[in-house]
Amino acid sequence: MKRILITSCMFLFMLSATQVVAQEKVKVKDDKTKVKDGDAKTKTKDDKTKVKDGDDKTKMKDDKTKVKDGDDKTKITDDKMKMKDGDDKTKITDDKIKVKDNEGTIKIKGEDGMNTMTNVNPYTASYSSNYVMGNPAHTNMIVDMWKDWDDNAFDRHNYWADDVTVFLSDGTVIKGRDSSLAGAKRYRGSLKSAKSTITAMLPLRSTDRNEDWVAIWGTETNTMPDGKVERNDIHEIWRINKDGKIDQMRQYTAKPAPQQ
Q: Tens of pLDDT along 212-224?
A: 999 999 999 999 9
If pLDDT is split at 50, 70 and 90, which confidence band does 208 have?
Answer: very high
Residue 34 CB partners (closer than 8 Å, separation 6+): 25, 26, 27, 28, 41, 42, 43, 44
Is the pLDDT assigned to residue 184 strictly greater than 50?
yes
Residue 5's pLDDT is 41
What does pLDDT average to over the chain? 79
Q: Tens of pLDDT along 62-110?
A: 667 666 666 667 676 666 666 676 666 767 665 566 666 555 555 656 5
Element (H, E) at 138: helix 136-151
Q: Rg (Cα) of the chain, in Å, rounded?
A: 32
Average pLDDT over residues 5-19: 45
Residue 89's pLDDT is 73
For 166, counting Cβ atoms within 10 Å of its Cβ (0-12 exposed, 13-18 middle, 19+ buried), the class is buried
Average pLDDT over residues 198-214: 97
Options 3.90.1110.10, 3.40.710.10, 3.40.50.10800, 3.10.450.50; CATH of 132-254: 3.10.450.50
Q: Are strands 40-45 and 48-53 parallel, antiparallel or unpaired?
A: antiparallel
Average pLDDT over residues 113-122: 55
Residue 56's pLDDT is 65
Residue 243's pLDDT is 97
Element (H, E) at 179: helix 177-189
